[in-house]
Amino acid sequence: MGFYNLISASKLSAIYDGIQNNLILYAEGEVQNYTTGIAFNRDQHFVGGLKFDLGGWTGPLASPPSSRHYSHSQRIDVPLPKTDTVIIADAENPNGVPVKVMVITAGEQMPRMLANAETTAVTTPGAPGEKYINSLFGVPFEIKADAQVPQGGGVTIQYDNKFLELLTSSIQGNQIVWKFNSKQTGNSKVTVNTSGGIATFVMTTVYDVNVFVLKQTNTADAMIPLSFLGMTNIGLNKIRQKYPNAKLYEVDGKASSPTTVATGIDNMRIVCQLPNNCTAMVSSTSWGEFGPVEFYKQPFLEDQVIPWPVQLDLDEAVNLLHKAGYSGTFNNVTLRKPLYPGVVEPSYIFGMTNGEMIFVGVDTKKVTNHSKGRTTSKSKKSTVSAN
């Protein structure tokens, strides 16, 4: 899971480019591995000058923790500051430090000037308000903001695209509506900045998003809203907590009895490729729960890495299976990308009760019968051969 936070900086610099009329901010330092989206974000609550937060999205966390060096420069369209400093907040100085602004007009060497920085501790106000959103995994939710802003103003939104997927953005009445869906469980943040016009009035709203799954109830016929890919994500995250470089290799699902529906799959195993030809696996103990991670010094053969996240969930694959005329029961289903010549996409591979092996491609959504002695497709596209 990813979360937004201030990051550390060992060096900060600020230059105002008098030719293009914008501010250039520079930072370098050490951050935790798996930190992305490093940026300077203007603190719209601060008055009397310009203040920026230096932050990034971190996750998943490595164990033991590890770090890397970074450097980041960013052009920001703002007028020339009325003072000769800007305030920059980082992890060590959340209230901000003043950084002297160097004004250039022509000919100066930008990298050389960016290397100069002055930092001293100060205290400044300004903490954004926070709202909370609790959402079931795989269930879309909306964030709304007032679309009516002063002339010259605007609305911007920031989120971790590893954690959330922006489905749509639209104007509905007098509101901007962003519709999101979750890619994984856990916590993240969405920040909405509404800026004013000439008076530079701004409001920042931070949404703390908690994505969760429901535990199975004791009622025999109760169904839980956790999909096949939702289970896969839980197992994959558990492996990556121990092995951050793990790559999804295969997902095996089994039914306790022959079934025709996705919810009939009630046992799962997640297989991941590790560096140095090693393998990690985790098996479900109940729906929504997994046992301990198992480590093997041998490679898991005959598969290719599956790009994550996968866009086609099992219930849709089952619908495609039925529409193609395969209405019988299946005992198991495997999500994998076989190491066969010509295979270009992962597939859900259904082990039908009658012995047939039916592939449903996650990208093309093509349904193909790869049973022994026959390779036929229910689509008009050419069929990929497999042994």
279 pLDDT higher than 90? yes
Higher pLDDT, 122 or 81: 81
In the chain, what percentage of residues exceed pLDDT 70?
Answer: 78
Higher pLDDT, 382 or 307: 307
323: phi then psi, degrees, rounded to nearest 5: -65, -30
Q: pLDDT at position 54, please?
A: 92
Give the list of residues 6+ apart from residue 237 with CB closer than 8 angstroms, or none: 1, 60, 184, 185, 186
331 pLDDT higher than 90? yes
Residue range 177-187: average pLDDT? 83
Domain ranges, ordered by start, for the chain: 3-114, 129-212, 228-377
In the chain, what percentage of residues exceed pLDDT 90?
Answer: 25
Cα(160)–Cα(167) distance, integer angstroms: 14
Q: Which two tokens stand for residue 260?
A: 């025709």
Residue owning tokens 């009397």: 48
Give the list of residues 6+ apart from residue 163 with CB closer than 8 angstroms, or none: 1, 2, 57, 59, 182, 183, 184, 186, 188, 209, 211
Q: What is the pLDDT of residues 347-356, one digit of tens each?
A: 999 999 999 9
CB 70 within 8 A of CB 81: no
Cα(44)–Cα(10) distance, integer angstroms: 24
223 pLDDT higher than 50? no
Which residues are registered as beta bridge partners of 380? none
* Most confident among 18-22, 191-195, 261-265 (mean pLDDT): 261-265
CB 186 within 8 A of CB 180: no
User: Worst-scoring range by mean pLDDT, 97-106, 319-328, 332-341?
Assistant: 97-106
Q: pLDDT at position 201, please?
A: 53
Higher pLDDT, 376 or 337: 337
**What is the three-state SS of the chain?**
CCEEEECCCCEEEEEEECCCCEEEEEEEEEEECCEEEEEEEECCCCCCCCEEEEEEEECCCCCCCCEEEEEEEEEECCCCCCCCEEEEECCCCCCCEEEEEEEECCCCCHHHHHCCCCCCCCCCCCCCEEEEEEEECCCCEEEEEECCCCCCCEEEEECCCCCEEEEEEEEECCEEEEEEEECCCEEEEEEEEEECCCCCCEEEEEEEEEEECCCCCCCCCCCCCCCHHHHHHHHHHHHHHHCCCCEEEEEEEEEEEEECCHHHEEEEEEEEEECCCEEEEEEEEECCEECCCEEECCCCCCEECCCCCCCCCHHHHHHHHHHCCCCCCEEEEEEEEECCCCCCCCEEEEEECCCCEEEEECCCCCEEECCCCCCEECCCCCCCCCC
So what CATH class is 129-212?
mainly beta
Q: What is the pLDDT of residues 26-53, one digit of tens each?
A: 888 888 877 888 889 888 777 667 889 9
Residue range 136-144: average pLDDT? 81
Burial class (CB in 10 A: 0-12, 13-18, 19+), 215: exposed
